[in-house]
Amino acid sequence: MSGLEAVSRRLWGKQRAELPYLGEGATGMRSVARRLFENPSVLTLSDGRTLGYAETGDPAGRPVLTFHGIPNGRLGAAVFDQVGRELGVRVIAPERPGVGVSDPDPSRELTGWPADVVELLDALDIEAAPVLGISGGGPYALACGAVAPERFPRVAVCCSSGPLESVPRPLRLLMRAAVHVPWVIRAFLGFEVRSARYAPGWTIERRVRSAAPRDESVWRGDVGKLLVASIPAACQHHGTAAFVRDLQLFGQEWPFSLAAIDVPVGIWHGRGDRINPVETGAYLLDAVPTAEGHFYPELGHLSIFVEHDAEMFEWLVR
């Protein structure tokens, strides 16, 4: 190896090891996210795969599982650290296969995720725990309630993705592209990863320009900065394939019936959401017989869980 190659590799390794907004001066939830990034928790599953996860909130509190969106991972659990401590909730945030430090499983299905999470509950000596799915984590939360209701007795979804027939045409095209031309979605997500790492401020301002007005200050604050930092963290080891697979699964026929879910389901959605429009939440409210809706005017994709996190967690641990 030449001296130039060695220097290049050292610089590249340093760039890969650092995340925007999570430097040594980070405070609050961003300091929590830094800790989660540097000290991932892992579990070896029965099939030999590694499952990564994070814990925040009250370590001695009542457990609640949170499922991340697209393209994020375990670092998002830092958003709920303070509310978890205030309410006595132990927040447990597993990463789906191929995300963060979790090993890939390219052939996975929506209904395979509950089995992974059940193994995590067993390893943590937890009999049952309610589930909160944020955005792209929503379908996986619903799958848990459908497949293993005895282990996941309450399900909440917030700003959730939905089946193909529930989403507007632009999202429908995105899901279909993931199925038929996945390289296009990989390229798009790859751009987002590089943008978040090397131009994080520009990335935030792009989000602001397309966000609901109530989301603008959230994107520019700690939550937005944390979510931008979580993008390269989620894709650091295995790239973006896991998120392409998410979109493929959302765009295919779901292997469980929403109508058959019989655990309590809470749906939180902002009527100003410009990523997963409120029509998706309304569809889920109609499709799940046990669902109760919590819809708020003007709130967007981020402000809905920032302003109503305590409400959701209190509902889950009733």
Question: What does the pLDDT read at residue 261?
Answer: 98
Residues 6+ apart with CB under 8 A from 152: 65, 114, 117, 128, 129, 130, 131, 141, 144, 145, 263
pLDDT tens for each residue of 248-275 = 999 999 999 999 999 999 999 999 999 9
Single-letter amino acid, residue 278: V
Show the DSSP H helices in the chain as ranges: 3-17, 28-38, 81-87, 113-123, 138-147, 169-180, 182-198, 200-210, 213-220, 222-235, 241-251, 278-287, 303-307, 309-316
What number is the average pLDDT over the span 2-24?
A: 53
What number is the average pLDDT over the span 219-243?
A: 98
pLDDT tens for each residue of 189-225 = 999 999 999 999 999 999 999 999 999 999 999 999 9
Q: How confident is the model at residue 24 (pLDDT cuts 50, 70, 90)?
A: confident
What number is the average pLDDT over the span 101-129?
A: 97
pLDDT tens for each residue of 139-171 = 999 999 999 999 999 999 999 999 999 999 999
Cα separation, 35 vs 37, in Å, equals: 5
Domains and CATH numbers, the chain: 3-316 (3.40.50.1820)
Question: What does the pLDDT read at residue 18?
Answer: 81
Question: What does the pLDDT read at residue 199?
Answer: 98
Cα separation, 7 vs 5, in Å, equals: 5
